[in-house]
Structure 1
Amino acid sequence: MEQLSGTDSYFLYTERGNNYNHVAALGIYDPSTAPGGMVRYKDILQYFSRRLDINKVFRRRLVTVPHEFDRPYWVDDADLDLEFHIRHIALPEPGDWRQLMIQVARLHSRPLDRSRPLWEIYVVGGLDKIPGLPVGSFALFLKFHHASVDGQAGAALLKAVHSLSPTPDDDGHPRSTIYAERDPTSVELYTRAVAHGVVRTGSISKLYLNTLSKVAGLTIDQIARQLKPGDPGAAAAATPPGFVKAPATRFNGLVSANRVVEAVGLPLDAMQRARTRIDDITINDLFLAIVGGALRKYLAAKEELPAKSLTALMPMSVRQEGKPGKGGNEVGGVPVPLRTDVADPVGRLLAVRADAQAAKRGSETMGRGFLKSILDDLPNFASEAFMRYAVYPQLNVTVSNVRGPDVPLYMSGARLVHFYPVSIASDHIGLNHTGFSYNGVMWITAVACRNMMPDPAFYAECLRGSFDELMAAIDARPSAAHPPAPGGKPARIHAVTAKRRRAKPVAPPPVSPRARATAKGKMKTKTKTRTQSGAKARGAPAVAKSKKRRG
């Protein structure tokens, strides 16, 4: 029996109303690599039955303390009903990309059953009418509660449940004896709660003293820079994060019970080539700039773009390398401006880079694990109040980028061809972007409240358009010193003029005329410059095209 950490418990405590704190992933598989060229539902059941013991998340279920007097516990459940957790469904007609996204959104809008281990897998058939997919392809939609996994733990879980080869590897995962744990009695739970209360009192005192000592160690110059965030020298110093209220947008209200999901694939080789043209930018900087450009396009089309930049919560892993940890959540986070106020794509990229570096330095001042310490050491009601009144007002959306495997993975012999992370949209932060790199592609999924984003297909077009504009703008830059980035040092453009090859795309799924008419009907465009370019036939699992440009 293992008690949840404060961070893990927070995701359970705040799951109420229309807030669902589970994370998910959509994988699309090519069965042609499997023995016999096909994968049946019972093959998938057998495959996962051999892997239930490689990660504790598959067998752990919750035991709650009466009246929430203490944090819940995980207990091992040996009596697992595999067919309850792994279900088989098929897309309704016409079975296209839009139907797949609608089905995923509906599945993602349902909470997990807390009386059982907190995970579900849906085997989705009927994908043959999605352009660009191998014949016979099927999908797996995997749901896990955020109380049991974070981004890095989820990436490790993905590797664990897949193979590196299409050949059977039965001997690599032998069955082991599982010993069920009995549920503790109420007396035992209350006794433990009293002892834990004494320990946490000391932890809260330690958190208070640590925070006070770090604040007391600030210089007058650092405090002045924090009070004047526009100061050019602010980005260069390790200044603690301050309270900067984000502009009000459609994404900052209370979420409804329904979600929308849309996804794109962007070629990593194009992003790596962009890194050779400008010094000191990372894949994460490019990801943030692409999202910032997409938000600018989307809100401008609706005449809702604020003059002030939107700000995103950027999660940061606090796991110690070389230490396996206990699973669950080892994550903090910092607010990062997405520079939606900058029209020039390269200027936005450089501004995002400077702001992201400043945010990371600021988090180091207070400690990267400061936010996690708040959630771990304070009672749930106090943690929720801190997040609601001190953190959420600074944010508009969430952005998270997780590095995945760069080699092909297989499940029951079928090759994983596309992988889309699906995360959480919650009250006050009703839009989430998660990027996951797998086998040469960055897969980006947007999850939003249906009322806040009724036209997710149009937002996918905005993401692709932002990517294309940024890559073209970087290619068009002269091989000379670039003007200084806001608040940072000058960025140098390399003399390398490597030609960008056209990325081999997977045929994009078309946007239906009705969906396009709906999106256009809800947009009021003042000038032709705001008119979005005509959408090409959009492919499901689409990897965006990299357009050729003359140097």
Structure 2
Amino acid sequence: MKQLSGSDNIFLFQEQKNVFNHVASLMIFDVSTAPEGRVRFKDILKHFDDRMYLHPIFRQRLANAPFGIDRPYWVADKDIDVEYHIRHIALPEPGDWRQLMIQVARLHSRPLDRSRPLWEAYIIEGLDNIPKLPKGSFAMFMKFHHASVDGMAGLHLASQLLSLSPTTAAPSSEQRTVYVDRDPSSVEFVSRAVSNGISRVLQAGKLSARLASKVVEIGSEQLMSQKGSSNPDEQLSFPKAPPTRFDTEVSAHRVFDGFGMPLSRIKRVREKVPGATLNDIFLAVAGGAVRKYLKAKKELPEESLLALMPMTLRTDASAGGNSIGAATVRVCSDIEDPLERLQAAHHAAKAGKFQAEKLGLDLFSKLLDTVPSFVGDFLTRKMLLQSLNMTVSNVRGPDVAMYLAGAKAMCLYPVSIPTNGAGLNLTGVSYNRVMWLSMVSCREMVPDPAFFIACMQEAWDELLAAADALPVIPPAKAKPAAKAASTRKPTARVAAAKKTAAAKPATAKTAATKTATAKPAAKAAVRKPAAAKKPVTQSK
């Protein structure tokens, strides 16, 4: 029996009728790699049953203290109804990409049953009208409560559940060891609550001393920065988020869509723009997407949107639970040129990380561990979410293919959480040489998810085309170029790129066309139906 941390419990405490805090993934599988060239539902049930003992999360359910006098505990159940947690459904005719996105959004809108272990999986068939998918492909939508896993823990869980070979044998039954718990009595709950309360009072004293020293340190640094110039990426600032459609209260209905960015093409951008990281490119594409979308709606603010960017604190992903900090970053939606936006995103990410580290990456999680849940909820809603428009996150996943009952996973789309005050969530996960990007929001904020993804796809195409238009950097000059690329002002190479792009419009267009990577395909990435892509000039 293990008690939830303050960070874990806040995801339970903040659930409302319009916000359910579970995280999920959508994977599409190619059955041609299975030993018999097919996969039956009972094969999937057996695959789960053979591996669920490898991680306690599949058996953990909540045990709540009476009258909410303390945080809940995880207790392990002996018997799990596998067929309750794993459901078998099919898309209606014609079974296209849009219907799959709608089905995933509906499933994501439903809460998990708190009386059972907090996870569900849906095997979805009827995908034969999605272009480029092999015949007989099926999808798996799987969700876990955020109280039990964060991004890295979720990917570690997937690596344990799935196999690395289509013919990997099931673990031996002799290796299975399952530890179960009994429900604690009311007396045990009360005694633990008293002990925990005393411990938190002591923690509060230490945390208060830490906060006081931080205030003094930050105040002195602010005075020093006012007296003399310093690195702009290493200055504390607390910008205010501009008002947008995304920072209001979300509805209970979700929308979802996504596409893929091959890591080989991301590498091309990094080679042409030394110093740019994968996270910088992700931020630049996210900023370009919201810029195009809001501009089409005639709602683009002059200032850049602000995003919450989670940062992992864990060294052991197998532990489960949540171990994350967060930084506030500008997505640079106020910059039209893709290369200038990439450079600005690099500085924005660096400044956001510096500020988070200066304040203390674990400070907020320590605070949630110490204060009562209702205080943590107030601080989250009033201090954190009110200064944001959206959430951006990317997590490194497995570099190799994974298999379910012999079927190869062709893609891995993350499905995360939009919440009140940050109703747009853009998340990326790298899997098998592709960065899979997803958009999750509410139906009222983004009534046209396919158009938003078209904006995101076009922002990526423009960035790749602009980078491809840059001259090749000789190896000997790569280091000086990296220094030039780190400046805020457009470099000579950016100006040269614009001139080259203007002189060769056909070449840039061809390059952009080749970057279109959407839905998963056999042994590669599947492309979204061409009909779903709409002109970015469309407004609604």
| TM-score relative to the length of structure 2 | 0.89
Give the 5 Å matches for 1:162-173. Answer: 162-171=162-171
Tell me which amino acid in the other structure corresponds to 2:418: A
Given that residues 375 and 383 in structure 1 are in contact (C-alpha distance below 8 angstroms), is that contact kept between their aligned partners in structure 2?
yes
Q: Give the superposed CA RMSD.
A: 2.7
Give the distance between the partners of 1:36 and 1:479, measured in 2 at CA: 48
What is residue 96 of structure 2 aligned with on the other side?
A: 96
Confirm whether residue 130 of structure 1 aligns to residue 133 of structure 2.
no
Q: 1:235 to 1:492 in 2, by over 3 A?
A: farther
5 Å-filtered alignment, 1:21-100, equals: 21-100=21-100
User: Partner of 2:148 in structure 1?
Assistant: 148
CA–CA distance in structure 2, aligned partners of residues 366 and 182 of structure 1: 41
Question: Residues 304 and 77 of structure 1: is their aligned pair in 2 closer, same or farther, counting only changes over 3 Å?
Answer: same
CA distance in 2 between counterparts of 1:265 and 1:116 reads 34
Q: Cα 1:484–1:390, aligned 2, differ >3 Å: closer, same or farther?
A: farther
Q: Which residue of 1 aligns with 2:395?
A: 402
Query: Which stretches in structure 2 are left out of the alignment for 5+ residues?
Result: 474-480, 501-507, 518-525
Residue 224 of structure 1 and its aligned partner are, at CA, apart by: 6.3
In structure 1, what is the Cα distance between the partners aligned to 2:110 and 2:363?
32
Whether 1:275 and 2:270 are equivalent positions in the alignment is: yes
Q: Which residue of 2 aligns with 1:423?
A: 416
Partner of 2:425: 432
Q: Which region of structure 1 is more displaced relative to structure 2, 101-110 or 377-386?
A: 377-386
Shift of 1:214: 2.1
1:487/1:232 CA distance change after superposition, 3 Å: farther
Structure-2 separation of matches of 1:370 and 1:181: 32
In structure 1, what is the equivalent of residue 324 of structure 2? 331
Cα offset for 1:173?
6.7
Q: Which amino acid aligns with 1:342?
A: I
Judge conservation of contact 2:156–2:317 (CA < 8 Å) in 1: no
After superposition, the Cα gap between the structure-2 partners of 1:353 and 1:173, relative to the gap in structure 1 and judged at 3 Å, is farther
Q: Distance in 1 between matches of 2:173 and 2:464?
A: 44
SS class of match (2:319): coil
Counterpart residue number, 2:253: 258
Distance 1:308 1:232 in 2: 24
Q: Secondary structure at the match of 1:197?
A: helix
Q: Which residue of 1 aligns with 2:121?
A: 121
- One-letter amino acid of the counterpart of residue 152, structure 1: M
Matched, 1:285 2:280: yes
User: Residue in 2 aligned with 1:468?
Assistant: 461
Please state how far the C-alpha of 1:374 moved relative to its aligned partner: 2.1
Between 1:68-77 and 1:360-369, the stretch displaced more is 360-369
Q: Residue 199 of structure 1 aligns with which residue?
A: 199
**For this pair of structures, how many residues does the alignment match?**
512
AA aligned opposite 1:369: D
Which position in structure 1 is the counterpart of 2:477? none
Note the alpha carbon deviations across 1:410-468, whole angstroms, 9 max, x for none.
Answer: 11100011110100011111110110011111100100011100000000100100001
Instruction: Give CA deviations for 1:304-359 in whole Å, capped at 9, x if unaligned.
Output: 00001001100000013xx4663100001010000101111111111110111111
1:310-459 correspondence runs (5 A): 310-320=305-315, 323=316, 326-459=319-452
Work out whether residues 402 and 435 of structure 1, in 8 Å CA contact, stay in contact via their aligned partners in 2.
yes
TM superposition score normalised by structure 1: 0.87
Asked whether the equivalents of residues 425 and 447 of structure 1 are also in contact (C-alpha less than 8 Å), the reply is yes
Q: Hey, what's the Cα distance between the residues in 2 that align with 1:366 and 1:244?
A: 15
Secondary structure of the corresponding residue to residue 54 of structure 2? coil
Once the 2 structures are TM-superposed, how far is the Cα of residue 181 of structure 1 from its aligned partner? 1.6
Determine the C-alpha separation between the residues in 1 that align with 2:44 and 2:318.
29
Report the CA distance between 1:233 and its aligned residue: 3.7
Contact 1:243–1:390 (CA under 8 A) maintained in structure 2: no
CA drift at 1:483: 9.9
Paired residue secondary structure (2:124):
strand
C-alpha displacement of 1:503: 5.4
Structure 1: which 5+ residue stretches go unaligned? 524-551
Distance 1:255 1:105 in 2: 14
Once the two structures are TM-superposed, the CA of residue 30 in structure 1 deviates from its matched residue by 0.2
Which residue number corresponds to residue 509 of structure 1? 529
Q: How far off is 1:215 after superposition?
A: 2.3
Aligned equivalents of 2:483, 2:230: Cα separation in 1: 16
Using the TM superposition, give the Cα deviation of residue 127 of structure 1 relative to its aligned residue in structure 2, in angstroms.
0.4
Confirm whether residue 181 of structure 1 aligns to residue 168 of structure 2.
no
Shift of 1:486: 8.4
CA distance change for structure 1 residues 100 and 174 in 2, over 3 Å: closer, same or farther? farther
Q: Secondary structure at the match of 1:300?
A: helix
CA contact (8 A) 2:6 2:370 kept: yes
Letter in 2 for 1:31: V
| Distance in structure 1 (CA, Å) of the matches to 2:445 and 2:465 | 30
CA deviation profile, 1:469-490 (whole Å, cap 9, x unmatched) = 1111122235685996787599
Q: Of 223, 229, 235, which aligns to 2:232? A: 235
Deviation at 1:510, TM superposition (A): 3.7
> Are the aligned partners of 2:428 and 2:438 in contact in 1 as well (CA < 8 Å)?
yes
State percent identity of aligned pairs: 49
In 2: Cα distance, 1:263 partner to 1:324 partner: 25
Partner amino acid for 2:302?
A: A
Contact 1:235–1:488, Cα closer than 8 Å, also in 2: no
| Deviates further, 375-384 or 343-352 | 375-384
